[in-house]
């Protein structure tokens, strides 16, 4: 199953997208705890784009969600300021200052976070998670 969402770079899009993703993940057999974690990872990536790539200014974000029997891939594309989150160092935990946890959450939850820099005008981030083998 593949679904593509064209979103405005606004915090108002976060909750409706989570609702769509929650439904997709439950239909493809992901357990509730992992579903909520994947939603969190996608949410953090999207929030980073709104806050840092577009810096609160209007812009567009494309989110593609590709589900297979054994994995999910979420691809986020934007045309904001170029930013590679894979280069951000891991924070020392616990952090006693507010902020700086979003990328840590993505790294912890997803199996792979891949930044694709091939298009000079597009940030393309791929988040991949495999289903745990029973």
Question: Given the complex with another protein, which of 11 and 55 has the nearer CB atom?
Answer: 11
- Contact between 108 and another protein per CB under 8 A: yes
Nearer to another protein, 12 or 121 (CB): 12
Q: Which stretch binds another protein (CB under 8 A): 45-53, 65-73, 75-83, 119-127?
A: 45-53
Is 58 an interacting residue with respect to another protein (CB under 8 A)? no
Restricting to residues 68-97, name those near another protein by CB under 8 A.
93-97
Backbone angles phi, psi at 105, to 5 degrees: -60, -45
Q: How far is the CB of 90 from another protein (least distance, A)?
A: 12
Minimum distance, C-beta of residue 108 to another protein, in the bound complex (Å): 5
């Amino acid at each position: 199953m593949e679904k593509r969402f064209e979103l405005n770079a606004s915090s108002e899009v976060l909750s409706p997208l989570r609702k769509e993703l929650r439904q997709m993940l439950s239909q493809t057999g992901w357990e509730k705890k992992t579903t909520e974690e994947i939603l969190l990872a996608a949410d953090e990536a999207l929030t980073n784009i709104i806050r840092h790539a577009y810096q609160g200014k209007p812009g567009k974000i494309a989110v593609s969600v590709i589900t297979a029997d054994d994995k999910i891939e979420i691809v986020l594309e934007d045309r904001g300021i170029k930013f590679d989150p894979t280069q951000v160092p891991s924070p020392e935990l616990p952090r006693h200052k507010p902020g700086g946890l979003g990328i840590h959450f993505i790294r912890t939850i997803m199996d792979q976070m891949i930044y694709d820099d091939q298009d000079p005008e597009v940030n393309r981030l791929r988040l991949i998670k495999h289903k745990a083998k029973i």
